[in-house]
Amino acid sequence: MLMMVGSVVNVLEFANAYFADIVEDVTSNKEVQAVGKYSVEEYNRLKGMKYYLTIQAVNKTSGEVKVFEAVVVVKPWLRKKELVKFAPSQKTMTILQPVW
C-alpha cells in the first residue's frame, strides 16, 4: 500500500499568477494520497517491466561457455523492447544442457 508522508506544496495557477499552500498532514488528505498513488502508477506504467537476465551462451563449435548479464525493458502497450545492458558477467554458472 502506498502512503505519502511528510508535507506537500499545493501550487495553484490563476491568471498567470501562482499561489502555494503547504499541506501538512498528507497522510489523512485523501486528495493528496490519490494524486500520489496516481503519480506512482503512471511512473510504473510509463517505465514498463524491467528484466534482469543472466545468460549462459555456449559456442557450438568449441563448447566454450560464457556468461552475460542483460537488462531489457518491455513496454507491451507500445509493442517495444529495449536492450538497456548486455555485458560479460563476473558470475559463474553451472553448465546447463544447451538448447538448439
pLDDT tens-place string over residues 6-53: 444 444 555 566 666 676 777 788 888 888 888 888 876 777 788 889
pTM score: 0.48
Q: How confident is the model at residue 99 (pLDDT cuts 50, 70, 90)?
A: low
C-alpha gyration radius of the chain: 24
More confident residue, 71 or 41: 71
Residue 29 belongs to a domain: yes
CB–CB of 91/70 below 8 Å? no
Q: What are the backbone angles phi and psi of residue 67, rounded to the nearest 5°? A: -115, 135
Residue 37 belongs to a domain: yes
Residue 2 belongs to a domain: no
* 53 lies in the same domain as 80: yes
**Residue for grid cell 489523512:** 28
Number of domains in the chain: 2
Residue 99 belongs to a domain: no
Residue 19 belongs to a domain: yes
Between CA 70 and CA 4 the distance in angstroms is 33
Residue 68 belongs to a domain: yes
Domain encompassing residue 84 = 48-88
